[in-house]
Amino acid sequence: MDSILVRGGQRLSGRIPISGAKNACLALMPAALLCDEPLTLTNAPRLSDIRTMTDLLESLGCEVAALQGGRVLVVGAERISNHRADYEIVRKMRASILVLGPMLARDGEAEVSLPGGCAIGARPVDLHLAGLAAMGAELELRDGYVHATAGRGLRGADFTFPTVSVGATENLLMAATLARGTTRLVNAAREPEIVDLARCLRRMGARIEGEGTEVIEIEGVDRLSGATHPVVTDRIELGTYMLAPAIAGGEVELIGGRRELVEAFAERLEAAGVEVADTEAGLRVSRRNGRIQAVDVVTAPHPGFPTDLQAQMMALLTLADGVSHLEERIFENRFMHAPELTRMGARIEVHGGTATVTGVEQLRGAPVMATDLRASVSLILAGLAAEGETRVARVYHLDRGYERVEEKLSACGARIERITERAA
């Protein structure tokens, strides 16, 4: 099993290209199920989660071609030959549930295993099901699967989300494109990935208004067509690499980065004493002298501070001058990285959904273990600033969402390498 070895203490200098967004691509790929013509996605990230979604779509009868080294994905669903999304694939990744809405909308049937993913708390699919039921689907949970039918097709409906859900918004948005009549999604998620999906669907012929706001209106059409669409920049990867020079010192330009993707995060970073500036190619982030200042963070749906950057921000604040408070309002059980950071000398106390971080002057390298995707990279960031060596185990979590992290950081002067242990 691979691990990442980081030797800390090196200031960073250079440029890091930001990949296409994992979470956007994982919603765009199932959109190909809505039509019988190929959907071509450019700027695709090369990640294990993308391979898992490829396996899932191929199991349903799609043809998926990875071109230009995996940067371009061509997904063809001339027909859906199998409407069962099997547990053995779905258990690997929560985004697998996103095939439910498209299959149901196009063919009126779907059987999808309840999904898996990172162990960061309960993330039920009840909102997905409630929205599809409002659109006329008949649903039954049996033997760990969602059995869904819509013999007469889906119909437009008004559906209000009791809480904001990115995945449910994506699923219902796709399903509504082929439903009869108009669908209004109220209290919809506003994330850039939702906007990107809506733009792609519109290229395919969908009629959608309001993406990026709390109300999205979709007028159903009879059929969609193939299209070519560039995957939006990964704002979580962007924020993660913005933290690299902040914690290690130095200056890095992030190619393809845009401030509007991470505005709330950038504001907290600047409040901590980090410089963020626009460039022609992206964003420049630097920290030259002095300690980081303590700041408080509260996670919230977009446009608030992203929960997927909370672990990485905590790594930075372990070295801040003062006491910081991080309040997690999206997922419970998302402070599992805190004990691992404590092994490196951090001072962190967790009470319910709030972590109190008292900054220390120096972290120490240690063997640590990744507990989920974002936790894994938070430990790598901490290792960049730690004295000595940090070895991060279980980095299969990392490979789900970060493309060649060791290559990107080492190009800027970090001493980091992947260690592959051969089976006996």
> Cis omega (within 30 of 0) on the bond before 339?
no
Q: What is the per-residue burial (b if ≥16 Cβ within 10 Å, else e) of 46-70?
A: ebbbbbbbbbbbebbebebeeeeee
Is 250 found in the same domain as 186?
no
Is 170 found in the same domain as 121?
yes
Is 406 found in the same domain as 305?
yes
Residue 287's H or E segment, with its range, is strand 282-287
Asked, for residue 176, whether it belongs to a domain, the answer is yes
Confidence at residue 397, expressed as pLDDT on a 0 to 100 scale:
86
- 124 carries a ligand binding annotation: yes
**Tokens coding 320:** 């801040």
Per-residue pLDDT of the chain (424 residues; tens, 9 = 90+): 799 999 999 999 999 999 999 999 999 999 999 999 999 999 999 999 999 999 999 999 999 999 999 999 999 999 999 999 999 999 888 899 999 999 999 999 999 998 754 343 444 689 999 999 999 999 999 888 999 999 999 999 999 999 999 999 999 999 999 999 999 999 999 999 999 999 999 999 999 999 999 999 999 999 999 999 999 999 999 999 999 999 999 999 999 999 999 999 999 999 999 999 999 999 999 997 789 999 999 999 999 999 999 999 999 999 999 999 999 998 776 898 999 999 999 999 999 999 999 999 999 999 999 988 888 999 999 999 999 999 999 988 898 889 999 999 999 999 999 999 765 5
**In three state form, how does the secondary structure of 188-239 look?**
CCCCHHHHHHHHHHHHCCCEEECCCCCEEEEECCCCCCCEEEECCECHHHHH
Is 359 found in the same domain as 270?
yes
Task: Give 148's contacts (C-beta < 8 A, 6+ positions apart).
Answer: 100, 104, 109, 110, 111, 112, 132, 137, 138, 139, 140
Is 376 found in the same domain as 264?
yes
What is the spatial distance between Cα 300 and Cα 330, in angstroms, rounded to a whole number? Answer: 6
Exposure on the CB side of residue 189, measured as CA atoms within 13 A: 25
- 363 carries a ligand binding annotation: no
Q: Which of 191, 210, 230 is the last residue of a domain?
A: 230
User: ∠ CA 300-313-51 to the nearest 5 degrees?
Assistant: 80
- 333 carries a ligand binding annotation: no
3-state SS class at 418? strand
Asked, for residue 8, whether it belongs to a domain, the answer is yes
62 is catalytic: no
Confidence at residue 181, expressed as pLDDT on a 0 to 100 scale:
98
Q: Smallest Cα–Cα separation from 91: which of 144, 34, 27? A: 144
Is 245 found in the same domain as 225?
no
- 308 carries a ligand binding annotation: yes
Other CB atoms within 10 Å distance of the CB of residue 232: 23
One-character DSSP codes across 19-55: PBPHHHHHHHHHHGGGSSS-EEEES----HHHHHHHH
Query: Structural domain of residue 108, as residue ranges?
Result: 22-230
What is the spatial distance between Cα 376 and Cα 4, in angstroms, rounded to a whole number? Answer: 10
Confidence at residue 144, expressed as pLDDT on a 0 to 100 scale:
87
CATH classification at residue 225: 3.65.10.10
Confidence at residue 288, expressed as pLDDT on a 0 to 100 scale:
72
Q: Which residues pair with 250 in a beta bridge?
A: 12, 287
Distances (CA, A) of 257 to 252, 341, 356, 413: 12, 28, 30, 20
**Tokens coding 147:** 């059995």
Q: Which of 209, 230, 251 is the last residue of a domain?
A: 230
Confidence at residue 38, expressed as pLDDT on a 0 to 100 scale:
98
Confidence at residue 423, expressed as pLDDT on a 0 to 100 scale:
56
Selecting among 25, 35, 62, 118, the annotated active-site residue is 118
pTM (2 d.p.): 0.93
Residue 99's H or E segment, with its range, is none
Is 271 found in the same domain as 409?
yes
Residue 75's H or E segment, with its range, is strand 72-76
Q: Which residues pair with 66 in a beta bridge?
A: 73
Is 40 found in the same domain as 60?
yes
- 23 carries a ligand binding annotation: yes
Q: Which of 230, 258, 277 is the last residue of a domain?
A: 230
CA 239 to chain centre: 12
Asked, for residue 424, whether it belongs to a domain, the answer is no
For the chain, how many structural domains are there in total? 2
Helices assigned H by DSSP within 91-224: 100-107, 126-134, 166-176, 192-203
Confidence at residue 273, expressed as pLDDT on a 0 to 100 scale:
96
Is 130 found in the same domain as 261?
no
- 238 carries a ligand binding annotation: no
One-character DSSP codes across 316-365: HHTTSBSEEEEE--S-SS--TTHHHHHHTT-EEEEETTEEEEE--S--B-
Asked, for residue 138, whether it belongs to a domain, the answer is yes
Q: Which residues pair with 325 in a beta bridge?
A: 356
What is the spatial distance between Cα 424 and Cα 421, in angstroms, rounded to a whole number? Answer: 9
- Sequence length of the chain is 424
Is 10 found in the same domain as 152?
no
- 399 carries a ligand binding annotation: no
Is 187 found in the same domain as 140?
yes
Is 83 found in the same domain as 27?
yes
Confidence at residue 289, expressed as pLDDT on a 0 to 100 scale:
77
Q: What is the per-residue burial (b if ≥16 Cβ within 10 Å, else e) of 161-178?
A: beebbbbbbbbbbbbbbb
- 16 carries a ligand binding annotation: no
Asked, for residue 265, whether it belongs to a domain, the answer is yes
Confidence at residue 121, expressed as pLDDT on a 0 to 100 scale:
41
What is the spatial distance between Cα 24 and Cα 194, in angstroms, rounded to a whole number? Answer: 8
Task: Give 336's contacts (C-beta < 8 A, 6+ positions apart).
Answer: 119, 120, 371, 372, 375
- 278 carries a ligand binding annotation: no
